[in-house]
């Protein structure tokens, strides 16, 4: 139905342009009459001038028509990918998403192939592939492949928006810090998509020390996002920072107090509606410090909470499933 509506919109735009053509030609006719009297003095035929001008205007408006329809099609692709993401987030059956989404991932990739420099479409693809890689893949190889594709799309999107990022992965840490300092608030969300996709690649390749060596640049990216706008993606930048600060225990130089701050801030910004924050709080922070009381308190809160708003149904359903598993094996862990 939406495709038919877009097609009708495109046809109407072309019809409007033809109407504009007729309007301009009727007005230019007056100009032609005036010009022809003066052009005769230079032995230039009126019909030649008329034909040349007509063809020029027709060509110009034809180009505008093609360009307008191209924008309609491009916007339609972005709208489709955004609608797909929204539909996935509103689903309460993770198993159906796991089985059904792969076909749509391929479809999104085909749309990107035909519009490879569209940053909004690339970012939509990066988020879809990244979300599927982190939550639904069955094998390490699949997780690596999907995470790499997500980061490829996110990198190309960031490069399209700012050419300084085109080779950002190869920069030294200090060069990358200088690049980040130039990013301004309107691009905070774009930087977050880029950084979170990069974090996904590192997580998928956690046994590869070369991948882990890139973590400081990802962390610096998230820190920059927090400086620019800590509310991006409903506070998820704080969640990413909290998890990264939970990677090392205090005995190895970790700073759990920073992890706690970011977890608490993520809960505050999301008004406690993002249940996955509490699950990761329990798993990454409470377990690291062997705090059984905090661990069980957070997970029981998750189990007792409702499923949340439409755009949080899937993530909160997954959170409840993970909370149940963590509670079930808590005696073994502690």
- Sorted by where each begins, the domain ranges of the chain are 1-76, 90-222, 230-334
User: Are 150 and 195 in contact, with CB atoms under 8 Å apart?
Assistant: no
For residues 329 and 238, give the distance between their C-alpha atoms in angstroms, rounded to a whole number.
Answer: 27
Q: Do domains 90-222 and 230-334 have the same CATH topology?
A: yes
User: Which one, of 129, 124, 133, lies nearest residue 150 by Cα?
Assistant: 129
How does the average pLDDT of the chain come out, rounded? 81
pLDDT single digits (tens) 74-122: 566 667 666 777 777 777 888 888 888 888 888 889 889 988 889 999 9
Mean pLDDT, residues 154-160: 96
Tokens of 322: 């993970």
Predicted local distance difference test score (pLDDT) of residue 28: 40
- Is 230-334 in CATH node 3.30.70.980? no
Predicted local distance difference test score (pLDDT) of residue 81: 64
- Is 90-222 in CATH node 3.30.43.10? no
Is the pLDDT at 333 greater than 80, yes or no?
yes
Percentage of the chain with pLDDT > 70?
A: 76
Percentage of the chain with pLDDT > 90?
A: 53
pLDDT single digits (tens) 210-234: 888 899 999 999 999 999 999 999 9
User: Are 133 and 199 in contact, with CB atoms under 8 Å apart?
Assistant: no
User: Are 91 and 62 in contact, with CB atoms under 8 Å apart?
Assistant: no
For residues 148 and 210, give the distance between their C-alpha atoms in angstroms, rounded to a whole number.
Answer: 14
Min mean pLDDT across 20-29, 136-145, 309-318 is at 20-29
Predicted local distance difference test score (pLDDT) of residue 39: 45
């Amino acid at each position: 139905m939406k495709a038919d509506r877009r097609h009708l919109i495109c046809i109407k735009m072309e019809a409007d342009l033809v109407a504009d053509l007729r309007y301009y030609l009727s007005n230019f006719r007056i100009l032609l009459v005036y010009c022809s009297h003066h052009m005769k003095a230079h032995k230039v035929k009126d019909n030649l001038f008329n034909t040349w001008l007509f063809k020029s205007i027709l060509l110009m408006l034809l180009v505008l028509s093609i360009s307008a329809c191209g924008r309609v099609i491009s916007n339609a692709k972005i709208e489709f990918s955004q609608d797909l993401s929204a539909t996935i987030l509103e689903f309460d059956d993770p198993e159906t998403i796991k089985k059904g989404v792969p076909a749509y991932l391929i479809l999104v990739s085909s749309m990107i192939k035909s519009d490879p420099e569209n940053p909004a479409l690339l970012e939509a693809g990066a988020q879809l592939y990244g979300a599927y890689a982190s939550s639904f893949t069955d094998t390490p190889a699949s997780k690596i492949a999907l995470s790499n594709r997500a980061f490829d799309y996110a990198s190309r999107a960031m490069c399209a928006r700012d050419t300084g990022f085109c080779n950002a992965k190869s920069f030294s840490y200090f060069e990358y810090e200088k690049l980040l300092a130039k990013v301004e608030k309107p691009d905070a969300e774009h930087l977050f998509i880029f950084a979170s996709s990069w974090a996904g690649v590192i997580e998928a390749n956690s046994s590869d020390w070369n991948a882990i060596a890139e973590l400081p640049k990802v962390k610096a990216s998230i820190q920059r996002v927090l400086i620019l706008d800590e509310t991006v993606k409903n506070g998820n930048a704080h969640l990413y920072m909290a998890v990264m600060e939970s990677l090392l225990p205090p005995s190895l130089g970790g700073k759990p107090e920073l992890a706690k701050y970011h977890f608490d801030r993520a809960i505050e910004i999301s008004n406690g509606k993002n249940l996955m924050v509490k699950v990761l709080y329990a798993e990454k922070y409470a377990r690291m410090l062997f705090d059984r009381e905090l661990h069980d308190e957070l997970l029981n809160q998750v189990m007792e909470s409702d499923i949340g708003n439409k755009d949080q149904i899937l993530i909160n359903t997954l959170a409840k499933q993970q909370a149940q598993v963590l509670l079930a094996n808590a005696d073994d862990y502690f």
